[in-house]
Amino acid sequence: MKLWLEKMWSKRPGGLLKKPSLLVCDQLKAHVIESTKRLATKLKTHLSVIPGGLTSQLQSLDVSVNKPFKGFMHEEWAKWIGNQLITLYRQEE
């Protein structure tokens, strides 16, 4: 999280001189540890943490975009790995 804040968030339009910003996060440990909070403060960023169990109400992209995308990617990976195993099996015959 700290690396992302340093390399990506701080490079957003307006950079370090930008007005205070709000960054909404979930409760992943990396989002809420003190060192992350200190860096966010240095970058003039207020962290707002979504309480557990409210992802579906407050992080709509996780539900409407990310979940279907991850499902699709899992299906495609399963097809690919299956084809790799079939190819490997045929080579051993």
pLDDT in tens, the chain (93 residues): 999 999 999 888 765 567 888 998 888 899 999 999 999 999 999 999 988 888 778 878 877 888 899 999 999 999 999 999 999 888 887
Q: What one-character-per-residue DSSP string does 12-75 give?
A: STTGGGSPPEEEEE-S-HHHHSHHHHHHHHHTTEEEEEPPTT-HHHH-HHIIIIIHHHHHHHHH
- CA dist 5 and 11 (Å) reads 9
Mean pLDDT value across the chain: 88
pLDDT at 92: 80
